[in-house]
Structure 1
Amino acid sequence: MQRLVQIASGGLFKGKTLIYSDLKHALLRILPKYLPEAKDIAILISSHIDTVFSAEGAGDCTSCVSVMLELARATAQWAHGFKNSVIFLFNTGEEEGLNGAHSFISQHPWSRTIRFMVDLEAMGIGGKLSIFQSGPSPWAMETFAKVAKYPSGQVVAEDLFHSGAIKSATDFQVYQEVAGLSGLDFAYTDSTAVYHTKNDKLKLLKPGSLQHLGENMLPFLLQSAMSPNLAKEVSHEPGATSEDRTIYFDVLGVYMVVYRQHLATMLHNSVILQALLIWTTSLLMGGSSGAISLGLACLSVVLMWIFSRSLSALVAFILPHISSSPMPYISNPWLIVGLFGAPASFGAFSG
């Protein structure tokens, strides 16, 4: 990609000037042999081949790139039945500010054909590859939930990421904010302690993690590429409202529950209304003794929360002062049960 100087106007790049040059990407486009018009509607699968200087990059993001290569090989064997093209983008410049994704989506002629995108990321090394960003079109999430063999994802993770508590960004933001694309963002999140460190090594990467990604993504890609109405399904107006949002969560990695925001609003409001009616009825029927019981019950819940959080925070404060290894649970995650689970439970019962 040639040098580009651009002032972006919104979202992640608001008020920023992007300057980059000499970015070299690897691109692969799979088209059906007898349907040339399929090149005008494309699905983008993207990940980055660069890593930070201090890391070997086994998790971030060699793991994603290796699976993408296998997905490209497997997808090509089914291309005769495609109604849409599939573009695999192996970009560079991600670690320097998401420049690779920005250069492709703003300059490459293929970018104008893309209607939907999938971004593969790693914030650790291995584990389940889970969805942590989606939308705004609900079609992708609903389709993924139907065809994925071992679906994994929680809308809570998306809320946490968007809250700003995690100071990070992925190529997903570029594709969504700059090009207005709808899509899914996946990431490995196990062993986050090695993320962007010299310990991000191949020996820590579990083959089962790569298999998990492949067995979920391949049927989803095939289903999407063979969809005759892809452009219509994922079309959306810029600035989609919260009513368009999809609520999703997996159940033990066996199946995924997906429903729309308007249904979630109805369910939540009905539960709140029922709770208020039950409490009001209890107070009217129970009189002063009922009011006292309700007050004590609410107080006990508050005390349980305060005591539980306080004792866990106390352990986290004391641990670095008494241990040469302030985070021993990294080497053995089960230590979390004793270090934080035990005081949290004791605090809850005390409250």
Structure 2
Amino acid sequence: MIVVAIVGLTWIAVELTRFLMLVFAAVVIAAVFDAIASWLCRKSRMTRSVALAVSVIGVIALFTGAFMLFGAQLAREFDTIRETVPRALQAIEGFLDRYGLGERARELVEVGGKDISQLASRAGGYALAAGSGLADFVLVLVAAIFLAADPAVYRRGLLLLIPAGAEKIAALALDDASRGLRGWMVGQAVSSLVVAALTWAGLALLGVPAAGGLGLIAGLLDIIPMVGPVIAGVPAVLLAFTVSPMTALWTLLLFLAIQQLQGNYLQPMIQKHAVDVPPAVLLFAVFAAGLLFGFLGVLLAAPLTVVVFVLVQRIYVRSILGKPIKVASGD
């Protein structure tokens, strides 16, 4: 019976992986709302409910404003992009022909064209997936608001499910996880601000249109380790083509430099200072989360690693093994 129960619970956990990741996403967003609302309450005479409403509206407005600013600029420049990109590609092809690399490049383009055609043929399925993702986002956002409205209720409810002998350790572990998430948010906020500022300044110096919107988008997408800068770089390069192919090349180099700075130095060091999680652990956790949970795992890899790291330290290393270590989130 014990073996059957273990197998059954394992099967349920595997089947509910996506659901559990959505729950964790709601907890992370709730922690963001709670941190902003608590700060507003300390700095002003706002009530908790008003501060929470301001934090929710502010975060949504920030994301919406960034993408609307970029979208409007991209729409205005679309005709220019459509005319400029083919000419730039022809110039690149001629350059490669002079060095004997043109044929190989054309073969790669042909293969890429077939892949794009296959993607286009599956557009309906991707549209359905996007619709499902939007529904998941709305669900997570609403759940996050409920969680942030009164987190103590859910904390007490969770502790009631814990055996009395382990309740104290569980309470300490929850406090550690909460502090760990707050530390991660501080580090991530600093990293996002630096990336947004560097991108904005670099694109403005290069004369790329919508430098402010692109910089803001780069800062917001910085929350996705390694993948975020790539996503942010694609529209920036397209808009840079409206200036010149050389500007597009410099824009690509700019994003590569910022990505290397952010991924290999800035974010790991900031997160280590804020949460004291070793940078290599955060780096490899991204790959592991992507393999286990897909894109959602990559998106939540950093906060998930922070929570798991402090829980292992508190529950396993300190409580079970009895070793006197300092928990990463602080005691």
TM (norm. structure 2) is 0.28
Name which structure has the greater RCO, CA cutoff 8 Å, separation 6+. Answer: 2
Q: More helix by proportion, 1 or 2? A: 2
